[in-house]
Structure 1
Amino acid sequence: MVKYYTFELWGDQSPEAEKQWLRNDKAYYERVKFLKKRISDEAYKILVEKGFHDYTLNELKVIQEGYDFRKWKIKVEMVVTNEIEIWKIKVENVKKIFINHNGTSDDTGFDDWGYEELLDVDESTLSFEILFASGSTILLHFPNNNIFVKQIK
């Protein structure tokens, strides 16, 4: 589950929470910089340096591909937009998928994209987790160099 940009901390406006947010932000960037060689330069620039805060998740696809049951691979594709830009995020060879959707009665879906964390699970596996304004999360584990980001518009 999200380690640095938690839903509880995001919603807390107290001075203590603000200080903790800044400490967490600094700690996250200290950790994520070591992952730069484990994804493409383009993916790093977009996911870590730019981010998708306040974007909307328009599309989420989980795709199983393969020619027989022993060779199936899972990939996840997401399309996000801020009404000016449209981006496609593709994660291949997914080892773990966890979607925690806190559906509410106001039908906001996942709501706005809040924060994302790219972390290491072990030497060969990365984790990408998204926290939405609703408190919902999407967590993906995948091998190094298997996340791709492309601007569509």
Structure 2
Amino acid sequence: MKYFRYDLFIAQNTDNLPEEERQEVDRQWQHNREAYSAILKTLSSRLPVDVYAHFNSWGFHDYRLTKMDIEHRSLHDMSVHFTLSSDIDNEENEELWCLCFDKVSYIQYQHLNYDNDQCVMHPEIDDWLYEEIMPVNESMLSFEVLFSSGGNVVLHFPDQSVSIKRVK
């Protein structure tokens, strides 16, 4: 992640950070948010209208990843589906969404929290924190998501090859 970095997230959520460092982290976070917002605006025509609108607001911040499916047809043609829940503990009020990427040509998973005593992508700590949609070139986009567990997924997909659907 270029803008919503895991190290800044950790620093922002550290209780004993000296005030001067906390202010610097907050300044950096605000600067990065503004810089990313400017880039996202340039991608509005490269994303479906509903996808752009969803991620131009709050996205899936604090949703829980309940499932990630990968359909593999070839090295340059995969589909990746994220199923996300707003509240898995309260089924009555739960919103369930599916975020689907088609024609994925690149996928990378890494974890950024080597000190985590739970496995990465652990069901109780894999809240969706931030995502970035960035241009790779004039016809390919990158989608990167950071989870609170330290898990990080990066995908590359062609323009317009993403959809979002509320399941429940």
Q: TM-score, normalised by structure 2?
A: 0.82
Equivalent of 1:15 in 17, 23, 26: 23
Does residue 87 of the first structure (1) align with residue 102 of the second (2)? no
2:77 alignment counterpart = 73
* Alignment deviations for residues 80-103 of structure 1 (CA, whole Å, 9 cap, x no partner): 011221100100000100011357
1:134 alignment counterpart = 149
Rounded to whole Å, the distance in 2 between the matches of 1:47 and 1:147 is 12
Does residue 50 of the first structure (1) align with residue 58 of the second (2)? yes
Rounded to whole Å, the distance in 2 between the matches of 1:130 and 1:94 is 15
Q: Which SS does the other structure have where 1:92 is aligned?
A: strand
1:114 alignment counterpart = 129
Rounded to whole Å, the distance in 2 between the matches of 1:9 and 1:61 is 29
Percent of pairs with identical residues: 34
Rounded to whole Å, the distance in 2 between the matches of 1:73 and 1:8 is 32
* Alignment deviations for residues 2-38 of structure 1 (CA, whole Å, 9 cap, x no partner): 0000000111131100010000000000111000000
Q: Which SS does the other structure have where 2:145 is aligned?
A: strand
Segments of structure 1 that go 5 or more residues without pairing to the other structure are none
Rounded to whole Å, the distance in 2 between the matches of 1:23 and 1:148 is 29
Number of residues of Structure 1 aligned to a counterpart in Structure 2? 148
Correspondence list, 1:94-113, <5 A: 94-101=104-111, 102=113, 104-107=116-119, 109=122, 111-113=126-128
Q: Which SS does the other structure have where 1:49 is aligned?
A: coil
Segments of structure 2 that go 5 or more residues without pairing to the other structure are 13-21, 88-93
In the TM superposition, what is the alpha-carbon distance from 1:106 to its structure 2 partner?
2.6
2:68 alignment counterpart = 60
Rounded to whole Å, the distance in 2 between the matches of 1:48 and 1:138 is 20
Q: Which SS does the other structure have where 2:45 is aligned?
A: helix
Amino acid at match of 1:4: Y
Q: Which SS does the other structure have where 1:111 is aligned?
A: coil
The answer on whether the counterparts of 1:80 and 1:86 sit within 8 Å (CA) in structure 2 is yes
Worse-matched range after superposition: 74-83 or 100-109: 100-109
Worse-matched range after superposition: 5-14 or 101-110: 101-110
